[in-house]
Structure 1
Amino acid sequence: MKITSRYWLHASVLFPLIISSFYCNKEFDEPPPYTGPAIRSNMTIGTLRNLHVTGSFEQIMDDSIIEGIITADDSRDNFYKALVIQDTTAGITVKMEGYSLYNQYPAGTRILIRLKGLWLGDYGRNIQLGAGVDRSVASNPSLSGIPQALFGRYIVKAGNSGTVQPKTITIDELNDSYQSQLIRLEQIEFAASDTGKPYADIVNKQSVNHTLKVCGGGSIYVRTSAYARFAGINTPRGNGSITAVYSVYKTEKQLLIRDTSDIQMNDLRCTGTGPKTLLNEDFETGIADTELILQGWKNIAEAGDRKFMSKKAGDNGYTELSAFATGQPSVITWLITPAINLNNSANEILSCKTKDGYDNGAILQVLISTNYDGGSTPWKAKWTQLAAMISKGSTNIAANWVNSGNINLNSYAGNVYIAFRYEGGDPVSTIGKHTTTFRLDDVKIIGN
């Protein structure tokens, strides 16, 4: 009995140790790699849209699932309580009862939507997907959004697919098949009466339509919410392209931008009449008696350390340079315009005005280059001197501005740069001083 008892005592101690040793040495299988959500789409967005009859509401009763990439969210507040998604066949606006949706569903996210129980409807013919029908106004029922508490029931995220590339089309190709898709139009500009205007009325909280005109003919509206974060920014004046979500309201075609970066209009206008202004600098924005700083311009000292300065005389701004009192034997400074594109114009004319003072031999040249790289060593590029009339010979500051005359640039094409190159010096010796003061104003280039 004692032996049996002792045997079971030893066994009771050893058995857990054996089991423990077995589990400590067990090698577990690696978990399978993540392959996305378990559900798969079985319907295209294009097929879903075809289920809708304009002016009606249709509830989806089968187990259909669509998949698409979010192309527009509410991060800039021009899309309110909605996401816009598209696949390779079509796009659709999904109404959502929530704010800051972009935190959970940012643009570029691929999502799947379980359609069973959801509804199709339209707002002014623009087809939408929602959770139900609001009939509180019997004469004007509307589609209601998916409640926030039900987002997870209907929407499944399937990873990030990156930026969706817009479809570049012409305005004549726009039709209902492009609703809620990201599209791109080129050679387009705001109507003259709609340039330089806020995108929306932030004072009265009114959404605004601005007219876009196409160079080859045709027009379309850009509609912006008063609550968009960019509503107070002014529309551009140039010509270029727009990337936007295409929408309709009844018979009206509309474009909805996600942010102002969707609009790139830096080229010459095509629908205006009269001369085109390619450059117009009056130097009024500079701070008097400080180094001249203008957006896109270069102010570079090649020899010495003197640069063009902003100056004021009465209510007139201009720029000025002199080697006087520098103590430097050589003062060479370049003032260079931004690149000017001459491909979209003809018969271009450059003009400017100058004054000189205390002339003792310094020079101011007007030059043009087609191979300057926009960098900090312009003297390495090839420059051609232009036949400009420059003020000279004044013992004091000249009383009147001298017009350069009309300098013809018609023989040039592509991007060009105009430079104003000052060359003088103020050596310690009284011999060889060339410290003439030059003033420059009203630099303009116009073309047809």
Structure 2
Amino acid sequence: MKNIFLKSIVAFTTLVTFTSCEDPETEVAPFKPVVFKENFNPDLLGEDEYLNYNGWKSFAEIGTVEWTEQDDEGNGYIQFTTFSSGTGNPVNVAWAITPAINLDNSQNEVLTFKSAAEFVTDAGNKLEVYISTNFDGNNVLAATWTPITANIAGLATNLPSGSPDGTLNVDSGEVDLSSYTGTIHIAFKATGSSTNSNLDGSLRVDDVKIYDKTL
């Protein structure tokens, strides 16, 4: 009886150990090939530095504030905020754009990402997501950008029913990209203000993935 009890304890401990050590980056089922994945490795990020990471494009359309790299206790992500920026820009618009992503070797692709909004109290302080098939990697405003409909953190976006406003972590859900082929870029566009305290909240993005949902 004692041996049976000990074996049960060992089996339970082993199950808990393997479950708790599961890599969250492999939660997209192993039967769904990943086309693109970026979880912003904190070991490669420069805290509070403007985005200059692994082929991503940073661009300030209006004002001088750009997306920054962040490491919160080992969790890397990118963030846009005008809080204490000291720039005096009444309007700030900044883009964070993925490297080129080739969809020719996959099908039934879906995009997922996570976003967060902290101290966002006005709909003008917002995060938008776009896709382009003709961005050349440099000239952001010369490209054609199509809005992406997804669950996005903030007051002016498509929040899940019952979600609180202000501080919010949101899973985008699966965004269908199956109609696209060739090279694409995904862009995260943030709007805020360095002079209006109602528009200086923090907008964050993490865990950007595109994977083949064929199986």
The TM-score with structure 1 as length reference comes to: 0.36
2:79 aligns with one of 300, 320, 338: 320
160, 163, 170: which is aligned to 1:402?
170
What displacement does 1:408 show?
Answer: 0.4
Q: CA deviation at 1:306?
A: 1.0
Tell me if structure 1 keeps the 8 A contact 2:127–2:154.
no
RMSD of the TM alignment (CA)?
Answer: 1.9
Name 1:307's counterpart in structure 2: 66
Pairs aligned (count): 170
* SS of aligned partner of 1:379: helix
Cα displacement string for residues 132-169 of structure 1 (whole angstroms, at most 9, x for unaligned residues): xxxxxxxxxxxxxxxxxxxxxxxxxxxxxxxxxxxxxx
How many Å separate the matches in 2 of 1:286 and 1:309? 9
Query: In terms of Rg, which structure is larger?
Result: 1
SS at match of 1:389: coil
| 1:277 partnered with 2:34 | yes
In structure 1, how many angstroms separate the alpha carbons of the residues matched to 2:194 and 2:75?
28
Residue in 2 that maps onto 1:442:
207
The answer (yes or no) to whether the contact 1:426–1:433 under 8 Å persists in 2 is: no
2:69/2:78 contact within 8 Å kept? yes
2:114 corresponds to 1:357: no
The 1-side partners of 2:80 and 2:173 are apart by 21
CA distance in 1, matches of 2:76, 2:100: 23
Q: Following superposition of structure 1 onto structure 2, how do residues 398-437 of structure 1 map, counting pairs within 5 Å?
A: 398=168, 401-427=169-195, 430=196, 433-437=198-202
Indicate how the Cα distance of structure 1 residues 334 and 362 shifts in structure 2: closer, same or farther if over 3 A, else same. same
1:342 aligned to 103, 106, 112, which one? Answer: 103
Partner of 2:133: 370
Matched to 1:424, the amino acid is: G
Which amino acid counterpart does residue 383 of structure 1 have in structure 2? W
- How far apart, in 2, do the equivalents of 1:424 and 1:311 lie? 18
Cα deviation, 1:298-347, whole Å, max 9, x if unaligned, reads: 01111111111111222211111112234201211111111111111101
Please give the alpha-carbon distance, in whole angstroms, between the structure 1 residues aligned to 2:165 and 2:111: 28
1:362 is displaced (CA, Å) by 1.0
Where does residue 390 of structure 1 map in the other structure?
152
Deviation (angstroms), 1:395: 6.7
Q: Map of 1:41-440 to 2, 5 A cutoff?
A: 274-284=31-41, 285-325=44-84, 326-359=87-120, 360=122, 361-375=124-138, 377-393=139-155, 397-398=167-168, 401-427=169-195, 430=196, 433-440=198-205
Matched AA of 1:382? T
Q: Which amino acid aligns with 2:52?
A: I
Match of 1:76 in 2: none
Check whether the contact 1:297–1:335 (CA below 8 A) recurs between aligned residues.
Answer: yes
Shift of 1:289: 2.0
CA distance in 1, matches of 2:175, 2:75: 24
Amino acid in structure 2 at the alignment position of 1:442:
D
- Taking CA–CA contacts closer than 8 Å with sequence separation of 6 or more, which of the two structures ends up with the larger relative contact order? 2
Residue 116 of structure 2 aligns to a residue whose secondary structure is strand
Q: Does the 8 Å CA contact 2:125/2:201 hold for their aligned counterparts?
A: yes
- Are 1:358 and 1:395, in contact at CA under 8 Å, matched by a contact in 2? no
Structure 2 runs not aligned, ≥5 long: 1-29, 156-163
For residues 194 and 49 of structure 2, the distance between their equivalents in structure 1, rounded to whole angstroms, comes to: 21
Equivalent residue for 2:6?
none
Moved more, 343-352 or 282-291: 282-291
> Percent sequence identity over matched residues?
36
Q: Equivalents in 1 of 2:143, 2:48: separation in Å?
A: 30
Query: Which secondary structure state, in structure 2, belongs to the residue aligned with residue 333 of structure 1?
Result: strand
Deviations 1:238-284 (A, max 9, x none): xxxxxxxxxxxxxxxxxxxxxxxxxxxxxxxxxxx822211110112
SS in 1 for 2:144: coil
Instruction: Show structure 1 runs of 5+ residues with no match.
Output: 1-272
For residues 396 and 403 of structure 1, what CA distance do their matches in structure 2 show? 16
